[in-house]
Amino acid sequence: MKKTYVLDACAIIAALSNEHGADKVESVYDEAVLGKAEIIVNIVNLLEVYYDDYRAHGKESADAILGKIISHPTKVVSEINRELFVEAGRLKASYKISLADSFALAQAKVTQGILLTSDHHEFGAVERNEDIQFLWIR
């Protein structure tokens, strides 16, 4: 059975910027290229990456980043169905996390995926209390 990995914004940014932890993200991409894994990102988390780069470098750069992410073996989940909606709402209400983080967590939970992240501070309590798998990139 293929593993499913869910990327949050910090994992994508680490890979794009060659930050510490990029090697772990790249190894997941290597698994996907070999057909051993599926990589997904929720549209809300992709928006985080887009607006962060847009703010820092402008539209052309943000559009280029978006194109690069989409060209990788990454499935962008743009439908927010009821299950995802309710789970994201529950997680947001239960923990001190951003709205975008609640979507990354909910996406991992409903797909039984492994969330790639470096956000120990935000997700520490979630890891202790929820049935969500994490792959810490740093």
Per-residue pLDDT tens over the stretch 4-37: 999 999 999 999 999 999 999 999 999 999 999 9
Contact yes or no for 45/100 (Cβ under 8 A): yes
For the chain, which domains are there? 7-122 (3.40.50.1010)
Per-residue pLDDT tens over the stretch 53-91: 999 999 999 999 999 999 989 999 999 999 999 999 999
Is the pLDDT confidence value at 1 over 90? no
Distances (CA, A) of 29 to 26, 71, 73, 79: 5, 12, 7, 23
Would you say the pTM of this structure is higher than 0.85?
Answer: yes
Quick one: CA dihedral 89, 97, 9, 129, positive or negative? negative
